[in-house]
Structure 1
């Protein structure tokens, strides 16, 4: 949720079955404006709240320029007063998203992780059990990893919000006017809120009619499994479409059809990825 439209979009938190109290809303708005001024950010986005065992983390990110992704900074707060920068750890591993233990709510806490034995394949492609995967991770570093991974894998915006300008920057399209009700029902009309991973030619070839400046971004249906990773819901009375991520329970993306200003995403969950999804479909 962009800070510029934060108070207009806070009611959409109800689609995640969460809300913020009036006191939290006032503190959030004031502290994010202070953060934007102190960090000299062009835009600030509220991401949501990661719920820990003993304390919670409020999450946000900011962009120092029109470019949305290259210089993006991640922040967390536990009191909606002080915001702390989340820096990329010097060493991290992709297996961190397999950690099943809940967050404690203490950024300095160091957790001993045991993911069980690793497996390799012999020359006959028979799995062979290897050494146990054990390591220690600081909760603040794990928080950076989880927030980064959620933004990469589950944050979506309607087609047309992201714009690839002539300078090669990924920016917000100021002329976005929304997508229709019919288009809002199709998962392919939502794009990942990230720099394109796939070859632009591949993404453009997926559409009969395309705009190079808008359709170079990765569509939402490029995930695995293709069916079931996102669930599209419609509030018929308001023409609001909500896309729930099944990989990251608690993360929702929303858009009100035919309106250019109402779109965004938020997360209210425990920070654990749903690795059982393929077995539930």
Structure 2
């Protein structure tokens, strides 16, 4: 399979900020077969790249002093100009949590919050293009935001990242739009205000594919992780939510046989 090339405005990278990267490396390696290679250059602060079959999948970095947000995954959307994207976000009801910052020769990043408060990263690639493997076991298969302000989130991502939408549910029980860039479906936006626990913020989440969900869940607990939501059959396939040994949450999804 050729390397995946994310479109501008689409998810292009995921990374984990961990309070103890060395503790969680064996978890992800054991669960998904990811190999972790750390960059020894001090400008990257111990940042490691997870890869599968020699292709980059995700990043892993240590929690920085003074940063209260540890053991959390961040999703990045691709931009041709991270600074301009941040400016547009600020003018469209979002917040710039971290202004555009060059990461050596790899690219430029920024961290935003959308009008509903969900945190999303921006990546302007240079040498590092993002993940190059998707829609396979051990690789990302889907991205979505669970939003407390659905009607504000939709125009925000449309203006800032060029999304259009295909609604697949518009009732109080299930309100969800699939985000499109041209004819390619890239992410989802869910109206979650009616079911998120009181005080829980809007957030982004992603799914990693597996070929046997029950076996993957058994492996999660064997490797010291936790099952947050057991396997369930949904109209979108068999899904579950889990956390690594330090509490970083993500989703797993069984990939249907082609």
> TM-score surpassing 0.5?
no
Higher share of residues assigned helix: 1
TM-score, structure 2 length as denominator? 0.29
TM-score, structure 1 length as denominator? 0.27
Higher share of residues assigned strand: 2
Larger Rg: 1
